[in-house]
């Protein structure tokens, strides 16, 4: 990619008033707002554009809900315009340009509209986009993608009014030092804050205009309470659980419906206080939380981390933690992440198992002590007061609530693809397995070096051209430091990198070692020909491969190979530091990408055919674990998981019978055993094989079925490209 200079790019962003007016008329509010401020920095231009869009975006209708906005709605993807704008604001990619749509409209639209799109193409068509420097083969799961968690708790405690004071204080200090760069940031934050306030005023006015006619109705009471809450929050501190919930919901939509973080800690005190005074019952609380979960679900939002411990090691799970778990029944989002410690009350684990048993796949379970230890050993420099606020974004990428900017996912390693290239170069010439291993390790090291260099370059371009004003405002310590969010203003910065297909590579190397190098009765040349030909005319060899030792069965030979592969990959990634700071943290978050990841990969030595999907997690290849759940847990726990706190997803499918009262203790013991052995995360799908088989054969009848894929739960109707059958192939465990 040819590097851009800031001057050459920004110099082409001048647009006349006529073009800007036409863009507004076309509903291209963000593009018009961005171009409306010639000569400003990208941050000032983006803040102005955000303010313009918030002041013009179509408002959602109120339909009697206890929260506003509600349902599928976005300030940033307006549904009221005829077509989706080609220039949009997104929480990760900031100024996002749909180049293909822009080119199509520029060539197809007629009259003044065509002129406007052609003018837009001329000034913004080649504006640098997020992730452009990252090669496709190392972008498994993401290209400079960034989930985050804004500091909801600060707004709930102090209100937006406190942000005005913080901005004014920073602006005065910058001007006193003649620090024009920081002055620019605080002026951008003034615009951003005012845009959010304008959106709030517009929304409140629309809500007032929706007043029900019957003052004696339940709907009128709901409306009155909602209006009263929004008259208080988020401008001023929340005084009750309901006000805190309303403010959280409002901010969640403003941020773009990403993550809610440690929800039970931000709102727990208000919830407990209202329960104690009788202002709220637990059933009412669960119903209110369920409405927020409905909004997360409707917008395919992401993670909420609950439970855990405080700085003193004691459990901080509270009654809101239980409400969060109960409210999740029947939802596939949010992606609840329950932090379990040895101090967690038994009632919390029981509630979690009750919800998991309904088949929704949430909450996922996290080993508190193991995560705390792994974060410390990763040298991320978190003091105890921040360490306990670790949370997750997206599927389950590690971050710190309210004060971090984590590349999640910044890039990804397709291990079977890397192995295939190593085999092409070394399989037929290696004189020993160790020589082959060194060839594979060398190929991996070259790929990791390329990945880390490209991620750092992408982060630098992200900071230069794609500032994020909303997160600069709401993520600590951007305001105090006077540094934009993508430029390193957050208190903590690191990069989560995906690792895919580890189980395939482990099984492949075991097969090569056993059949070519140890047994010596299969020629390396014949093995390579079989792989190139997708095992055509080599079915007998493939059947021998399928009988080799397999990772996931508590088999020392296979498990030790998986551990060796994992340590090589994790250690190599951890040698580098990203441009924005911190460390590269390995993860395995294949969500729905494991099908596409297998498409460019030739047949592999584990017997996998060309184009077939790769392993969907850090666990065994689907269907290869045939020795029971405890054996599988022992194999996966043997992986050096502490070296990969980005999160290694572990999928487990249990038969519904395992959640009967007489089996509950056995499920608990399996979870505890896995955590005691060092396992860090476990997510459980509860569904029987017969139901899955019927759903594969007649998907139209099972659209609302929820299953766990990769790092989150999804509706059956949303799965395609081989994903349903991959879930069917997972071993259904009973004990």
pTM across the whole model:
0.94
Higher pLDDT, 588 or 722: 588
Per-residue pLDDT of 57-86, as tens digits, reads: 999 999 999 999 999 999 998 655 567 899
Per-residue pLDDT of 100-139, as tens digits, reads: 999 999 999 999 999 999 999 999 988 998 888 999 999 9
Q: How far apart are CA 189 and CA 162, in angstroms?
A: 13
Give the model's confidence band at 598: pLDDT under 50 very low, under 70 low, under 90 confident, else very high: confident
Evaluate if residue 2 carries a pLDDT over 60: no
Evaluate if residue 486 carries a pLDDT over 90: yes
Per-residue pLDDT of 542-551, as tens digits, reads: 999 999 999 9
pLDDT at 84: 87
- Which of 42, 32, 140 is CA-nearest to residue 86? 32
Give the model's confidence band at 5: pLDDT under 50 very low, under 70 low, under 90 confident, else very high: very low
Q: What DSSP string runs through 117-150?
A: HHHHHHHHTT---TTTTS-GGGBTT-SS------
Give the model's confidence band at 703: pLDDT under 50 very low, under 70 low, under 90 confident, else very high: low
Give the model's confidence band at 182: pLDDT under 50 very low, under 70 low, under 90 confident, else very high: very high
Q: Which pair of structure tokens corresponds to residue 509?
A: 């190397």
| 528 alpha carbon, distance to own chain's centre | 38
Angle between helices 433-465 and 556-574 (to 10 degrees): 40
Q: How far apart are CA 373 and CA 381, in angstroms?
A: 12
Average per-residue pLDDT for the chain: 92
Q: What is the mean pLDDT of residues 348-360?
A: 94
Peptide bond into 21 cis (omega under 30): no
| 627 alpha carbon, distance to own chain's centre | 32
Residue written as token pair 């009973």: 734
- 139-153, 363-377, 426-440, 589-603: least confidently modelled range: 589-603
Evaluate if residue 265 carries a pLDDT over 70: yes
| Residue 607: Cβ within 10 Å count | 24
């Amino acid at each position: 990619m040819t590097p851009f200079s800031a001057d050459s790019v920004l110099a082409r962003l001048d647009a006349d008033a006529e073009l800007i007016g036409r863009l507004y008329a076309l509903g291209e509010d963000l593009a018009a707002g961005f171009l409306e401020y010639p000569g400003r920095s990208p941050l000032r231009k983006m803040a102005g554009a955000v303010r313009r869009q918030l002041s013009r975006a179509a408002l959602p209708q109120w339909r009697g809900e206890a929260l506003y906005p509600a349902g599928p709605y976005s300030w940033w993807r307006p549904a009221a315009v005829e077509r989706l704008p080609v220039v949009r604001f997104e929480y990760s990619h900031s100024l996002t340009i749909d180049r293909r749509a822009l080119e199509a409209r520029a060539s197809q639209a007629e009259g003044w509209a065509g002129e406007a799109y052609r003018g837009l193409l001329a000034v913004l068509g080649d504006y640098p986009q997020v992730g452009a420097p990252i090669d496709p083969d190392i972008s498994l799961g993401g290209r400079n993608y960034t989930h985050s968690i804004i500091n909801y708790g600060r707004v709930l405690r102090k209100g937006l009014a406190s942000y005005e004071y913080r901005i004014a204080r920073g602006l005065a200090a910058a001007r006193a030092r003649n620090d024009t760069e920081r002055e620019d940031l605080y002026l951008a934050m003034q615009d951003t804050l005012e845009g959010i306030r304008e959106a709030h005023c517009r929304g409140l006015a629309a809500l007032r205009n929706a007043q029900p006619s019957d003052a004696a109705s339940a709907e009128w009471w709901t409306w009155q309470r909602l209006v009263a809450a929004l008259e208080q929050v988020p401008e001023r501190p929340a005084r009750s659980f309901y006000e805190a919930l309303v403010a959280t919901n409002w901010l969640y939509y403003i941020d773009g419906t990403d993550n809610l973080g440690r929800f039970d800690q931000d709102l727990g005190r208000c919830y407990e206080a209202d329960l104690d005074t009788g202002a709220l019952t637990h059933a009412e609380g669960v119903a209110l939380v369920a409405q927020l979960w409905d909004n997360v679900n409707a917008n395919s939002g992401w993670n909420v981390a609950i439970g855990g411990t405080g700085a003193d090691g004691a459990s901080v799970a509270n009654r809101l933690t239980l409400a969060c778990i109960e409210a999740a029944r029947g939802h596939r989002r949010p992606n609840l992440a329950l932090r379990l410690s040895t101090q967690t009350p038994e009632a919390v684990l029981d509630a979690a198992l009750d919800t998991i048993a309904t088949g929704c796949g949430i909450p996922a379970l996290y080993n508190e002590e193991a995560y705390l230890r792994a974060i410390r050993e990763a040298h991320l420099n978190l003091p105890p007061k921040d360490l306990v606020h670790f949370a997750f974004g997206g599927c389950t990428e590690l971050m710190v609530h309210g004060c971090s900017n984590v590349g999640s996912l910044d890039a990804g390693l397709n291990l079977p693809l890397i192995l295939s290239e190593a085999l092409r170069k070394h399989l037929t010439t290696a004189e020993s397995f160790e020589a082959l291993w060194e060839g594979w390790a060398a190929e991996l090291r070259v790929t990791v070096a390329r990945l880390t260099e490209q991620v750092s370059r992408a982060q630098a371009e992200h900071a230069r051209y794609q500032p994020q004003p909303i997160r600069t405002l709401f993520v600590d310590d951007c305001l105090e430091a006077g540094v934009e969010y993508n430029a390193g203003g957050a208190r903590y910065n690191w990069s989560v990198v995906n690792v895919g297909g580890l189980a395939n590579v482990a099984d492949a190397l075991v097969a090569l070692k056993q059949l070519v190098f140890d047994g010596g009765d299969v020629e390396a040349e014949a093995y390579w020909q079989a792989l190139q030909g997708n095992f055509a005319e080599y079915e007998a060899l493939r059947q021998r491969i399928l009988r080799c030792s397999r990772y996931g069965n508590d088999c020392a030979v296979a498990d030790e190979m998986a551990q060796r592969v994992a340590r090589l990959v994790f250690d190599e990634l951890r040698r580098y530091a990203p441009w924005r700071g911190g460390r590269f943290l390995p993860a395995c978050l294949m969500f729905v990408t494991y099908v596409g990841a297998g498409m460019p990969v030739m047949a592999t030595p584990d017997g996998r055919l060309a184009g077939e999907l790769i392993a969907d997690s850090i666990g065994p290849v689907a269907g290869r674990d045939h020795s029971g759940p405890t054996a599988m847990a022992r194999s996966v726990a043997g992986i050096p998981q502490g070296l990969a706190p980005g999160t290694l997803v572990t999928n487990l499918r249990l038969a519904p019978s395992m959640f009967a009262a007489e089996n509950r203790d056995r499920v608990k013991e399996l979870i505890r055993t896995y955590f005691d052995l060092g396992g860090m995360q476990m997510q459980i799908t509860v569904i029987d094989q017969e139901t899955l088989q019927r759903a594969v054969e007649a998907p139209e009848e099972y659209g609302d079925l929820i299953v766990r894929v990769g790092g989150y739960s999804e509706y059956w109707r949303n799965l395609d490209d081989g994903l349903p059958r991959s879930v069917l192939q997972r071993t259904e465990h009973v004990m």
